[in-house]
Amino acid sequence: MMRIAMTEEIPEREARAFDTDDGRTIFITQRDGAYYAYNNLCPHLQTELEFLENQFLDQDGEYIQCSTHGALFLVETGECISGPCLGQSLEKVTINVHSDGGIYLTEE
């Protein structure tokens, strides 16, 4: 397992991008003390989701939002609920949060 971040790096209702050893960019967001991670690719055009660094969520911090076409995704599942990729989902990345506060990538 590879430690990708510490929990204090990801405030509630915010998201942060991280590069992995295999060349991917993922982002992690926190909602109600739970952490969710996804590959930084919109299923519609395979573009990165954020226009500005670490801007993965909508203005209210309620949904993940693609800056290219405004698609909205549920934080907990990655499912697209609005936009041209309706019914598709972001690709989930498996992580584990350890008692040391580290967030670790799990081998898939």
Give 15-40 pLDDT, tens digit per residue: 999 999 889 999 999 999 999 999 99
Instruction: Supply 54's token pair.
Output: 């670490």
Q: What is the pTM of this model?
A: 0.94
C-alpha closest to that of 58 among 43, 73, 36: 73
* Cα-based distances in Å from 13 to 25, 44, 60, 104: 19, 24, 9, 20
* Domains of the chain by start residue, with CATH: 2-105 (2.102.10.10)
What was the pLDDT predicted at 1?
Answer: 82
Residue 76, sorted as left (phi over 0), alpha (psi -120 to 50) or beta, turns out to be alpha
